[in-house]
Amino acid sequence: MHALSDVPRKAANNRWSDLSVRAASALVLGPVALFCVWHGGVAWAGLILVAMAGLGWEWGQLAGVAKPVALTALMAVLWAYGMLFGLGGALLNVIWVTGLIWYLYKSRFAGLGVPYAAIGGLCLLWLRLRPEAGLADTAFLVLVVWGTDIGAYAVGRLLGGPKLAPKISPGKTWSGSAGGLLIGAGAGAMLALWLREAPAQAFAAGLVLSLCAQAGDLLESAIKRRLGVKDSGRTIPGHGGLFDRLDGFLAAGPVAALLAFCVHGGVPLWG
């Protein structure tokens, strides 16, 4: 009887087994990221440089190339283009960098890592460095993506239920996806309410960005499944690699930048 009664308890414990490590990492890295978002300027640009260079190195390792340093260096070059020539000029250069990496490593997979990591990174760089609504837009994106991640993790483990995409990511559930969607969009709406800037429209924009973030998460899971690896790396304890932590931002960032580009100057991206 005791052995049988211990089964649900063990299952519940396993369900939350990584929570403490994930929380510890978040408590260390979260304030750093928030400071960079708030300060903008050099702090934000430096954070994006570290992220893009790290993603280049990590993708090189996933691609199995002997020396990922070229990928790392060229991601830094793209960051420099973004700083000097803006988003449009930098995105155009993604094309030749992709081809160069493909040629250097004789690997199509290695080349595809350039647009995957660079487009999202460059959009995040541009979004915050906008002189008018950059802070509000970037804070909105961060709250939506973090809210989506936290909501999906918590609701999925509390409620469980049918799997969202068992062949791609067996741990994800429909309940977690719905929870992440609502909590992510709700977090964005709360920011808009605090700023007195159309919370209903912010909730709608948050839903779009939350869906993009979840799609990015599934894409990264599919890549890892194809490669037969559990995590993209070991950079962040409890979270895996940089791609594991930034997959939602890489997918939602370009959409946020597009929304911001389409609104009038000084108006938040959900306006």
25 CB-contact burial (10 Å; exposed 0-12 / middle 13-18 / buried 19+): middle
Specify if 6 maps to a domain: no
Q: Is residue 10 part of a domain?
A: no
Residue in this structure with the two tokens 């609502």, named with its chain if needed: 182
Locus of tokens 């920011």: 191
Judge whether 48 and 121 are in contact, CB under 8 Å: yes
Q: Is the pLDDT of residue 186 over 70?
A: yes
Residue 16, pLDDT above cutoff 70: no
- Domain shared by 109 and 160, yes or no: no
Q: Residue 137 and residue 253: Cα distance in Å, rounded?
A: 10
10 has a pLDDT exceeding 50: no
> Are 71 and 148 members of one domain?
no
Same domain, 269 and 151: yes
Domain membership of residue 98 (yes or no) is yes
- Output the pLDDT for position 241: 85
Say if residue 148 is in the same domain as residue 206. yes
Residue 154 Ramachandran class (φ > 0 left, ψ -120 to 50 alpha, else beta): alpha
d(CA 127, CA 255): 11
- Most confident of the following: 32-36, 64-68, 241-245: 32-36
How confident is the model over 231-261, as pLDDT tens digits?
Answer: 887 766 555 789 988 999 999 999 999 999 9
Residue where a domain terminates, one of 129, 150, 172: 129
- pLDDT at residue 158 tops 70: yes
Q: In angstroms, how far is the first alpha carbon of the chain from the final one?
A: 59
**Together in a domain, 95 and 168:** no
How many domains, in total, are found in the chain? Answer: 2
Regarding whether 110 and 88 lie in a shared domain, the answer is yes
CA-to-CA distance for 37 and 56, rounded, in angstroms?
22
d(CA 50, CA 52): 6
Structural domain boundaries enclosing 42: 36-129
Q: What is the mean pLDDT of residues 100-122?
A: 96
Whether pTM > 0.75 for this model: the answer is yes
- Tell me what pLDDT residue 4 has: 45
Q: Are 62 and 171 in a shared domain?
A: no
Residue 157 shares a structural domain with residue 240: yes
The model's confidence at residue 17, banded by pLDDT at 50, 70 and 90, is: low
Q: What local confidence, expressed as pLDDT, does residue 131 receive?
A: 86
Residues 123 and 151 in one domain: no
